[in-house]
Each structure stands twice: as C-alpha cells, then as structure tokens.
Amino acid sequence: MKIIVLAFFIAISGLVRAESSEGERAKKSIELTVSAGVDYRMSPTQFAAYYFLDKNNLLGLKAGADRNSEERQTSVAFQYKHFTGNSFYIAPEIFYLNTREDDTWLLKLFNINVDGYSEYVSMGAGVRIGNQWSWRHFSIGADWIGYGRRIGVFRRDNDKASENTWTLLNIYAGLSF
C-alpha cells in the first residue's frame, strides 16, 4: 500500500510541477489583464495590455473607469513593470486622470450636508509595488500599495481635491502568451 501511495504522489508531482514565475515570464511576449481594487481616487475596473521586453521588464497601457452616484473616475496609464525576483515588482507609471470626487465625505459622516465635489482633469506620476505569479498562460497578481501625485492639471473647478492618489490591494488576473 505504501508503494502505491508513493507512486501516486510521484506521478502527481510530475503533473503539478510548475516552472517559477520568472521562468514562465521568459517564454511570453504579450499579457492581457483585468483588475479591480482601490486605484487612484476610486475603485475602477481596469483593462491592461503589456509587452514583455524580457523576463523581468514589461511595458504596458491600462485604462479603467468607475462611477458611483455623483462621483466618477476615468484613467489611462503608461506603466513600466520591473521584476526584482521571481514575483516581486516595482512599477513606475505616468497617468491621465479625469475625476469628479467628493471632498467632504468626512463632514457627511457627521450628517453635515454640504456640496463638496471637485472636478479635475490631470496628469501625474506614481509608483506601486506588488507581486505577480504566472503559470503557463495564466497570471494573477496584486499591486499591494502605490502612491501617485498629480503634476499637471488641465482643468479643475476648485482647489479642494488632494493632489495625491493611492493604490491599495488592486488585484488582477490575466492571460499571457
């Protein structure tokens, strides 16, 4: 019986044995992903396309939108993703952001009714850190945390909105080939 169990585990290990994420990336040239999580000012659904320069460097374009009652966000970003090892990466980016956001949410928590929406059309720069794991043609990952700053404002209706943007637990999945 022990020999049968041992043979079973040896056979299964050959089927589930996978190359490292770094090794899987070395075989790829294109990656397409969809993501959700806190990114920039809201929680948009985003689609991205990346081109593999090599196994540790990707260039990509991502775009997304979110709408929640009176608030909205549209974003487009050009991103460079650099892997420092098997799955960890640092990703600087340049982004375009069009938002209508509520700047008085804290006052509204205390039932103080004020209209505090700000509208911005801006560009900015940011950086995020995360992990991505790859298997054959499938990848999952997360931008754990990121920080960005608006550096060029094309249009704004007031000065109440923060110049900072944040990324927090932006999870994505995709296909690569």
Cα–Cα distance, 25 to 31 (Å, whole number): 10
Divide the 177 residues of the chain into consecutive groups of 10 and give the mean pLDDT of each group.
51 54 91 95 94 97 92 96 96 95 60 67 97 93 96 78 88 95
What are the tokens at 87? 């799955």
Cα–Cα distance, 48 to 34 (Å, whole number): 6
Whether the pTM exceeds 0.85: the reply is no
147-151 LR contacts (CB < 8 Å, sep 24+): 148/40, 148/93, 148/95, 148/124, 149/124, 149/125, 150/97, 150/120, 150/122, 150/123, 150/124, 151/122, 151/123, 151/124, 151/125
How many helices (H) and strands (E) are present in the chain, helices listed first? 3, 8
Cα–Cα distance, 152 to 40 (Å, whole number): 15
Q: What pLDDT is recorded for position 73?
A: 94
Q: What pLDDT is recorded for position 110?
A: 58
Residue ranges and CATH numbers for the domains of the chain are: 19-176 (2.40.160.20)
